[in-house]
């Protein structure tokens, strides 16, 4: 246990030191950003949109049961989507896609001794592998949460028009009653924080990978599980912190 904690703290301190000291590798960062952001965009948009649609239909169903009226649904469903749903669902999807990929990649490099080869060449594997992925994931998380949230809201608006019978104007008016611009700002901050969790956890488990296909599989599984749990926990912490700003 103590060994694990010391390993984590050493890894984090070395990552942070590498993060704040040049040289950076912009080409690699862009390459990772394409993998994290651009390639994840379709799947995230698809899933998050359906989550939004389900949310708005379910809220309407519940409100009709509770108060026999779903007039407030566009407003508070939009708020729920913006503050929680969009960003958390996209972060979890990003974990399963990017986190697993990173852990497998770094783990394979570890067991095939490529990391040792890097060290022999005088290249710090953390600077070489973690920093570009970290920067790419933070920026990617930020961009994805922003785009996913707003596409989500658009889908919710379409569904409220088609299914609940609220025009887009009514949806926006309802949204204005509850949603403020800082909700989007906080959502994107959350997105960036969740994005930061994914490469750190994945690379940590990747570097600790035991030899063999089994080791890589374990590293991948552990990284996804731990990232997801950390994201949910961090979501609670950030929500608690942000609640002081309202």
Of 13-21, 46-54, 148-156, 201-209, the segment contacting other proteins by CB under 8 A is 148-156
163 neighbors 57 (Cβ within 8 angstroms): yes
Nearer to other proteins by C-beta: 107 or 140?
Answer: 140
Nearer to other proteins by C-beta: 92 or 146?
Answer: 146
SS (H, E, C) 132-157: HHHHHHHHHHHHHHHHHHHHHHHHHH
Nearer to other proteins by C-beta: 19 or 72?
Answer: 72
Other Cβ atoms within 10 Å of 196 Cβ, number: 17
- If one asks whether residue 246 binds other proteins (CB under 8 A), the answer comes out as no
Nearest approach, Cβ of residue 75 and other proteins (Å) = 8
Residues 153-182 as x/- pattern, contact with other proteins by CB under 8 A: x------------------x--xxx-xxx-
148 neighbors 48 (Cβ within 8 angstroms): yes
- If one asks whether residue 143 binds other proteins (CB under 8 A), the answer comes out as yes
Q: Is 215 exposed, middle or buried (0-12, 13-18, 19+ CB in 10 A)?
A: middle
Nearest approach, Cβ of residue 31 and other proteins (Å) = 5
Rounded distance, CA 78 to CA 175, Å?
6
Q: Is the dihedral of CA 228, 230, 215, 110 positive or negative?
A: positive
Say how many residues make up the chain.
246
Q: Which residues in the 12-51 window bind other proteins by CB under 8 A?
A: 30-31, 33-34, 37-38, 41
Nearest approach, Cβ of residue 21 and other proteins (Å) = 24
Q: Applying CB under 8 A, which residues contact other proteins?
A: 30-31, 33-34, 37-38, 41, 69, 71-72, 143, 146-147, 150-151, 153, 172, 175-177, 179-181, 184
């Amino acid at each position: 246990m103590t060994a694990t904690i010391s390993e984590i703290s050493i890894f984090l301190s070395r990552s942070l030191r590498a993060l704040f000291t040049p040289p950076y590798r912009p080409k690699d960062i862009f390459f990772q950003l394409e993998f994290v952001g651009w390639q994840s965009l379709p799947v995230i948009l698809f899933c998050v949109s359906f989550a939004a649609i389900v949310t708005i239909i379910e809220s309407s169903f519940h409100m009709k049961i509770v108060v026999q009226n779903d007039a407030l649904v566009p407003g508070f469903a939009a708020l729920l989507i913006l503050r929680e749903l969009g960003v958390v669902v996209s972060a979890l999807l990003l974990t399963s896609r990017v986190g697993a990929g990173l852990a497998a990649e770094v783990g394979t490099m570890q067991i095939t001794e490529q990391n040792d080869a890097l060290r022999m060449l005088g290249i710090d594997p953390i600077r070489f592998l973690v920093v570009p992925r970290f920067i790419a994931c933070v920026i990617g998380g930020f961009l994805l949460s922003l785009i996913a949230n707003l596409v989500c809201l658009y889908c919710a608006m379409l569904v409220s028009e088609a299914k609940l019978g609220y025009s887009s104007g009514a949806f926006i008016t309802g949204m204005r009653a509850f949603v403020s611009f800082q909700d989007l700002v906080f959502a994107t901050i959350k997105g960036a924080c969740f994005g930061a969790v994914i490469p750190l956890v994945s690379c940590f488990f990747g570097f600790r990978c035991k030899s063999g296909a089994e080791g890589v599989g374990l590293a991948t599984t552990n990284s996804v599980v731990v990232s997801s749990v950390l994201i949910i926990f961090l979501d609670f912490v950030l929500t608690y912190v942000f609640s002081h700003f309202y």
